Amino acid sequence: MSLTGFLLAAVAQLSQEAACEPWQPLARDGLHDPEAAGVPMLQSPAEALSVLPRDTAGNKVDWVRALDTDAIDPRESLDDDTALEVLDTEIVMRDTSTLNWVLFPHRPHTQWLACENCHESPFVARAGANPINMGKILDGEYCGVCHGAVAFPLTECNRCHSVRPDSVSARDVETTDPGETR
Ligand code: HEC
Ligand code: HEC
Ligand code: HEC
C-alpha cells in the first residue's frame, strides 16, 4: 500500500471511532455495564463537560483553552509542594512531505506534564534527535502515546501540522533539519 493509502485507511478507522455522539450517557457508552448499580450514581459526561470550552474533536473539550481561561484549575501534583516547570519553547519538525510542518509547543504540554513524561523516553531532548514519522505515531509511538489516547485525536492533522513553510522565518522558533529527523 502507498504511504498516502496507508494514512487514509488509518484515518478512516480513527474517524469511525470518533464519529459516535458527544457525551453518551454512561449506560449507553459501550464501556460501562448498563446493569451496574453504581452507574446512575456517577456524574454524566454531558453535565461535567458541557460547561467547558468546546472543541470539534475527541471528547469535545478544548483542554488547552480550558486551562488558559481558568475554566479548570487542576492540582499540579498529588503532593502539594511540587510545582510544574512550564517551558515556553517551540520546535518545528520539517520532515512532513507535502504537508505543513509540525510545530511542537512545550508550553501547553508542560502545563500538564512533567518533563519526565517525555524525556528521555519517548523523546531524546535534542531537536531532530528522534526518528518520528506518521506511521509510528498512528501505531501509538512518540506523539501517538498520548494523541488519540488521552489528548486530541490524530484526525486533527492541522493542529500539529500548523506551520506553513513560507511563514516560518517570522517566528522565533528552533527548527530541525529535515535530514536530522529520520
Ligand atoms: C499529534 C501530532 C500530529 C497529528 C495530529 C498529525 N501528525 Fe502527521 N506528523 C507528525 C509528526 C511529529 C511528524 C514527523 C515530522 C518530522 O519528523 O519532521 C509527522 C509526519 C507526517 C507526514 C510525513 C511522512 C511520514 O510518514 O512521516 C505526513 C504525510 C503526515 N504526518 C500526515 C498527517 C496527516 C494526513 C494527519 C491527519 C490525518 C496527521 N499527519 C496528523 C505529527 C502529527
Ligand atoms: C509532551 C512531551 C514533552 C514534555 C512534557 C517535555 N518535552 Fe522537551 N521535547 C519534546 C519534543 C517532542 C522535543 C523535540 C524532539 C525532536 O525534535 O526530535 C523536545 C525537545 C526538548 C529539548 C531540545 C530542544 C530545545 O528546545 O532545546 C529540550 C532542552 C527539552 N525538550 C527540555 C524539556 C524540559 C526541561 C521539559 C520539562 C520542563 C520538557 N522538555 C518537557 C517533548 C516534551
Ligand atoms: C505525554 C503525552 C503527550 C505527548 C507524548 C505529546 N502530547 Fe501533545 N498534548 C498533550 C496534552 C495532554 C495536550 C493538551 C490537551 C489536548 O489538547 O488534548 C497536548 C496538546 C498539544 C497541542 C495543542 C496546543 C494547543 O494550543 O491547542 C499540540 C499542537 C500538540 N499537543 C502536539 C504534539 C506533538 C507534535 C507531539 C509529538 C512530537 C505531541 N504533542 C506529543 C499530550 C502529549
pTM above 0.95, yes or no: no
Q: What is the pLDDT of residue 168?
A: 63
Residues 99 and 148 in one domain: yes
Cell numbers 459526561: residue: 45
CA angle 114, 121, 137 (to 5 degrees): 105
Is there a contact between 98 and 146 (Cβ–Cβ < 8 Å)? Answer: no
62 Cα: distance to centroid of ligand 3 (angstroms): 12
- What is the model's pLDDT at position 179? 39
Domain check: are 120 and 71 in the same one? yes
Query: Average pLDDT for residues 158-178, to the nearest whole number?
Result: 70
The answer on 117 and 28 residing in a single domain is: no
Mean predicted lDDT score pLDDT of the chain: 86
Residue 116: phi, psi to the nearest 5?
-65, -20
Decide whether any atom of ligand 1 lies within 6 Å of the 181 Cβ: yes
123 lies in the same domain as 38: no
Question: How many angstroms separate the alpha carbon of residue 147 from the centre of ligand 3?
Answer: 7
| pLDDT tens digits, 24-59 | 899 998 999 999 999 999 999 999 999 999 999 989
Q: Which domain holds residue 85?
A: 57-181
Question: Which residue reads 474517524 in cell numbers?
Answer: 15
Q: Is the CB of 150 under 6 A from ligand 2?
A: no
Report the percent of the chain where pLDDT is more than 90.
69
46 and 95 in a common domain = no
69 and 142, same domain (yes or no): yes
Measured by CA distance, the residue closest to atom 12 of ligand 3 is 151
Are residues 36 and 111 located together in one domain of the fold? no
What is the number of domains present in the chain? Answer: 2
Q: Give dist(CA 59, CA 45) in Å, integer.
A: 9
Please give the pLDDT value at position 16. Answer: 53
Write down the pLDDT at residue 159.
Answer: 96
Does residue 84 share a domain with residue 32?
A: no
Does 81 share its domain with 27? Answer: no
Which element (helix H / strand E) includes 170?
none
Q: Which ligand is nearest to the CA of 88?
A: 2
65 and 107 share a domain? yes
Asked whether residue 64 falls in the same domain as residue 47, the answer is: no
Q: Are 95 and 133 in contact (CB under 8 A)?
A: yes
Domain check: are 79 and 151 in the same one? yes
CATH classification at residue 89: 3.90.10.10
